[in-house]
Amino acid sequence: MYYLYVLRSEQDGKFYVGITDDTNRRLAEHNNGFSKATKPDRPWKLIYFEAYTSLSLARRREVRLKNHARGFQELKKRILDESGEG
């Protein structure tokens, strides 16, 4: 399985979208500074994920969210409404 995941910075509330085959390992990598893109905003919290049967499907969803701001804004609103993290 492959996972599209959304992280939220506990430091400044920023969001990050990525894909992985192991969400626990990937979250640890982000929090240990192994990702240049997320290192400055640590620590991160996993707030959402979607499971896919193939890497290509997960990547397609990731690209859609990263390239279409409106889609990501709608997903963020749904995540925050459900979690109460507003």
pLDDT, position 85: 66
**Residue 17 — φ and ψ, nearest 5°?**
-115, 135
How many other CB atoms sit within 10 Å of the CB of residue 80? 15
Name the pTM for this structure: 0.92
Query: How is the beta sheet containing 44-52 ordered, strand by strand?
Result: 15-20, 2-9, 44-52
Q: What is the pLDDT of residue 82?
A: 82
Beta strands in the chain (DSSP E): 2-9, 15-20, 44-52
Instruction: Render pLDDT for 14-71 as a digit per residue (tens, 0 to 9).
Output: 999 999 999 999 999 999 999 999 999 999 999 999 999 999 999 999 999 999 999 8
